[in-house]
Structure 1
């Protein structure tokens, strides 16, 4: 986390930081003042994010103090996430040299993501997902289901892991185990949302609806295609701010947003079906978990830089012959992001800066290559039976 702190401070001092801290501070102050999110003010995140946002406001009233406490809070979450990643690598039986290489690469990545890694709360759900994978590697399916549910309550994306848990549960104990695992996964989400559904149902539904109906954000892979066409063929582009991001607008952008939504759903379904058609071994579970999150990120209509934080603590767990390629593609995606964010972000938005435009496309293609790498058929090592989350088909 030393690199993350140094990079975050450097961007703040440089004056180029693009941060959500003022928004978080406003939320925290309202919460500390007794206002209820969803009912008394619009709140775009799941309710599980509230503790991370309100704690710094309880410690400090000033924006500068809030910024310091929030960054410290995320540094702790990141350190826990790295420790969980290291534990997962050990439980998977990775060689010591491989573990050192992996952790060294992960330690450097905050230099590329310094503009977001400690100024967004994405390290919290990322650490929860890493913790869930460690539990799954150890065969603790039910505990992992609870942790995944906590992750969903903080940021919705861990929901893409639920079908994988369902497959493992069915293989392990049939309908009864599946029912238990689904209930344990949804319980934290229900506990988080239910009070707000009772006092502010319209605000909760509006929050969820805004996430589903967002337009084509300017850093998505579809936007990268349009930006490249703008540079190469001179097609006209327009942008506008809305839904908490800067987006491309127009018929082409709207059509690509729809196509990306369809492609995202199809890619996720293919990942889940692929896992269901093979043995539920630890290595396959880890790989398909990483592929699920990568598919969600790569084909999302919104691809903010902080989404890459979700991959940094997950993709390095993938083993086998594809492990190095997956690790380096993740690093490349982070490095390409650093070409425009945060220093050239507004040049990208307002001027469709050529370097940034091509970098957006290259980052999108890199993430698609990462997805292909994770899903490409290859022989994988069979883990020891004690490390399997569930018996493979035909075993008892």
Structure 2
């Protein structure tokens, strides 16, 4: 690591702690919190109960770490909330450090590193203090750790860390095909097979102890995530709510699977269409990546961000905290395309803050028109980010000057 990068890493870590404290104490507070649920999991683990066997868990195993740690050293909900927030602030600082290190691997200038970290801070601040009551900053940290290792061409460590990220939150799995294509282009079929097996085997090893103790509990956890209904903030729901207001199409909602969802035949059909659209978008991203210089670090970060955005924008569930994953990935994209994509993601963050959490229950219970249109516009902006990332270069577009490091 160069002296310049070391100084930026120290500055990013230190200042991010202050920014994290600022975000956690923004006016209005978090509103809707998840920490009581997390504390329930953590307390049961502290009591010696086995996840998936003695109590149902919808999250992958590594996600249980930030749930359990505060339970070990707290006795009240307030203490738990404070400790959990502290963990998320550390995760936030870790993400900023990894952004600097990733951009160093990409050969970015000092100004580019500073702007990217500032954009990351801005995205988190725009989303607001509720993020400190969710574990998605930890999930983003795990994913960025894997991406950083991949950019530094750690051929074994990168895939292993990606497997750990998948065992924290499922969304990094969309990066596996990109990693396989990249490895195959650089090292042939054997390297591609290793890039495929290492993350999958690593994730499976994390699940294995729990699967041996409670196979039905693990299967139930995975199937619950795969079969979730159409959540009310998703793009599919946004379209249906818009049709409801424009043409009076009848809709209903219900709580289930940890979220509020649209119900009925129309919602079920839309959920299926959304799933097909997501699959199509991911295949497009992977194919476009394979048609170019798949060994390029710059292209890998661009298409990794595109895959993550596709997963968010076209998924059946689009919770506000998912935008953390988007911000952390998009700020690494180089050139004019990266600037435009980052700007659009920040717009999506601002639109989310406009209605969440203050208008959330009006959206759910009354299908509030203002909240409906804000949700739909936000979701369409995310589709715009995807289009920017996968579109062919425009005439006159500024080419990136980023340099790739020598192989480690």
Deviation at 1:270?
A: 0.7
Cα 1:234–1:204 change in 2 (3 A) is same
The separation in 2 between residues aligned to 1:64 and 1:164, in whole angstroms, is 42
Answer yes or no: is 1:360 the counterpart of 2:341.
no
Aligned to 1:295: 310
User: What is the rounded CA distance, in whole Å, between the counterparts of 2:168 and 2:111 in structure 1?
Assistant: 34
TM-score (norm 1): 0.93
Cross-structure match for 1:203 = 217
String of CA shifts for 1:68-102, please: whole Å, max 9, x gaps: 00110111011011111012223322233333222
Q: Which residue of 2 aligns with 1:229?
A: 243
Shift of 1:254: 1.1
Query: Are 2:29 and 1:9 equivalent residues in the alignment?
Result: no
Distance 1:173 1:203 in 2: 39
Aligned counterpart for 1:80 among listed residues 77, 91, 94: 94
Instruction: Describe the SS at the equivalent of 1:230.
Output: helix
- CA 1:58–1:385 in structure 2 vs 1: closer, same or farther (change >3 Å)? closer
Local SS of the residue matching 1:339: helix
CA distance 1:88–1:386, change in 2 (3 Å): closer
Structure 2: gaps of 5 or more residues: 1-15
State the shift of 1:247 in Å.
0.4
Match of 2:108 in 1: 94
The correspondence of residues 337-376 of structure 1 with structure 2, limited to 5 A, is 337-376=352-391
CA distance in 2, matches of 1:323, 1:296: 18
Q: Which 10-residue stretch deviates more, 300-309 or 100-109?
A: 100-109
Give the alignment partner of residue 189 of structure 1, picking from 199, 203, 217: 203
Q: 2:34 aligns with which of 13, 20, 34?
A: 20
Q: Would you say how many aligned residue pairs link Structure 1 and Structure 2?
A: 387
Q: Distance in 1 between matches of 2:158 and 2:287?
A: 21
Q: TM-score, normalised by structure 2?
A: 0.91
Tell me if 1:106 matches 2:157.
no
Q: 1:381: Cα distance to partner?
A: 4.3
Q: Alpha-carbon deviation of 1:181?
A: 2.3
Question: Shift in Å at residue 226 of structure 1?
Answer: 1.3
Q: 2:262 corresponds to which residue?
A: 248
Q: Any idea what SS the aligned residue of 2:204 has?
A: helix
CA shift for structure 1 position 323: 1.3
Contact 1:3 1:108 in 2 (8 A): no
Is the 8 Å Cα contact of residues 216 and 247 (structure 1) preserved in structure 2?
A: yes
Q: Which of 32, 49, 55 is 2:63 aligned to?
A: 49
Deviations 1:299-324 (A, max 9, x none): 00000011111112110000122111
* Alpha-carbon distance between aligned partners in 2 of 1:29 and 1:343, rounded to the nearest angstrom: 30
Query: Cα–Cα, structure 1 residues 388 and 338, in superposed 2: closer, same or farther, change >3 Å?
Result: farther
Secondary structure of 1:247 counterpart: strand
| Aligned equivalents of 1:37, 1:150: Cα separation in 2 | 18
Provide Cα deviations, 1:3-56, integer angstroms capped at 9, x if missing partner: 443333346xx4761111000000000000011111111100001111111000
- Kindly indicate whether the alpha-carbon contact (under 8 Å) linking 1:46 and 1:153 is maintained by their aligned counterparts in 2: yes
Name the SS of the counterpart of 2:392 in structure 1: coil
Q: Counterpart of 1:62?
A: 76
Distance 1:330 1:388 in 2: 32
Cα deviations by residue, 1:185-225 (Å, 9 ceiling, x for unpaired): 12331221001111111111111111111111000011111
Residue of structure 2 in register with 1:117 after alignment:
131
Q: CA deviation at 1:230?
A: 2.0
* Secondary structure at 2:25 match in 1: helix
Conserved in 1, the CA contact under 8 Å of 2:234 and 2:316?
Answer: yes
Distance 1:109 1:285 in 2: 22
The answer to whether the aligner puts 1:143 opposite 2:157 as a matched pair is: yes
Task: Write the distance in 2 (CA, Å) between the matches of 1:173 and 1:101.
Answer: 34
Is residue 2:222 matched to residue 1:217?
no
Counterpart for residue 393 of structure 1? none
- Write the distance in 2 (CA, Å) between the matches of 1:39 and 1:353: 40
